[in-house]
Amino acid sequence: MEGRMQGKAPLSDSNRRIMDADAPPRRVYQAWKGSNIFFLGGRLIFGPDVRSLLLTVCLIVIPVILFAAVISGQLAHEYHNQIGGWVASVAIIFTAYIIVLLLLTSGRDPGIIPRNAHPPEPEDVGESSNLSEWPGGQHGSTGLPLTKDVLVNGVLVKVKYCHTCMLYRPPRCSHCSICNNCVERFDHHCPWVGQCIGKRNYRFFFMFVSSTTLLCVYVFAFCWVDLRIIMDTHRCKLGRAIMKSPVSGILILYTFIAVWFVGGLTSFHLYLISTNQTTYENFRYRYNMKTNPHNRGLVQNFIEILCSRIPSSRNNFRAKVKEDSATFTSSLGMGRALSPPKMSVDLEMGMKRQTVAMEELEDLHSQIGSAMGLERCGTEPPHIVGRKGCSEIATDIEAFAEEFGLEQRFTERKKIEQRTSHNP
């Protein structure tokens, strides 16, 4: 019997789950199904392209360091310390403010809608569902229509069913293919901040972009002042002044290019805020003033986006994970099992499957087979059989097999074992 135990295959995933039942529970961020990256124990959430955030910080900080170290020093020399120190201090404080806005944009939940563990029931969809999206007006493998109609400010808006998150997306919600999450009031995924821009961080994103634009204008202006002072002091032309202060020339060129990017982005988002649109809606639906159901007027649109209360996150990333699948603490020893596995729907694969995997069923068969071998153990010592007798173990195994719908296969195996015992 010891040889038989030594020859067994490694533990299956089901057995590992049984043995690890006493292990500390995982947190939500550790079992997260999206593509996000977490830091500080789930307190900060970033997109999968978080490395680009370092590049963005360098593009902001390095020019400001050059400006504070070189340009402000030249201004202090020309103005006899009357203005140079203030120019550098304002640039450094403003840069620190922009970095904080950048982290608030990229390191927080943008408005992720939690996934459903199971798809909604068809009867819960309601009469507003639209069946015309399915070929022949039929349901898909989930039994759910692809879209349903929702009333927004008196206008019917179609919302789609997300097969990944197993939910009907709220209005203005979209699934980000990069982060693999449904984000409320999805605007776009910004690679420069490494995060989706949604309902909970759009305000910080707009403040970050607009503040960066002002910083570029500030550095650009004082670099021109520095060059102008050099031209007046040495009575030379612009080219000669740039030769005397090459850092000013480099920063003027750099900020001129940058202001077209961040300044254009600021102008575009000012237009979006004034019309209460998102970037996704602007490129996808092309709303006008009459067809946009979210437009509440210029003043109300700015109040809603920039002055309204930011909703709390729907996710507690540090909460303990609630295991959906049942574990068997002592199925054979206690002579009973937990409730039979429920049928769940794998929407990504497009087919139904049981929550108990095939390898678990094979493992179950091997356990039943080994227990059947104990039925012929009437002459074996009690310490090998255990505390229960063979007849009790057989009864437990029958109940266990019936619980999982294996009663027929168990009965057939039992008949074979009886024939072999009568006909040695």
The burial of 128, by beta-carbon neighbours within 10 Å (0-12 exposed, 13-18 middle, 19 or more buried), is given as middle
Q: Judge contact between 276 and 292, C-beta under 8 A.
A: yes
- CA-based nearest residue to 180, from 117, 120, 115, 118: 115
Q: Which helix (H) or strand (E) holds 129?
A: strand 129-130
**Conformation bin of residue 23: beta by default, left when phi > 0, alpha when psi is -120 to 50:** beta
Give CA–CA dist 116/135, Å, rounded: 26
Q: How does pLDDT run along the chain (424 residues), one tens digit per residue?
A: 444 444 445 555 555 555 455 566 788 888 899 899 999 989 999 999 999 999 999 999 999 999 999 888 888 777 666 677 888 999 999 999 999 999 999 999 999 999 988 877 765 555 444 444 444 344 555 567 788 878 887 778 888 999 899 889 999 999 999 999 999 999 999 999 999 999 999 999 999 999 999 999 999 999 998 898 888 888 888 888 899 889 999 999 999 999 999 999 999 999 999 999 999 998 887 766 567 888 888 999 999 999 999 999 999 998 888 765 433 333 333 333 333 333 333 333 333 334 334 444 455 455 545 444 444 444 444 443 344 444 444 555 455 455 444 455 555 556 666 665 555 5
Start-to-end CA distance of the chain, whole Å, equals 21
Which position has the token pair 């009357």?
Answer: 82
Phi, psi of 346 (to 5 degrees): -95, 95
Residues annotated as catalytic are 190
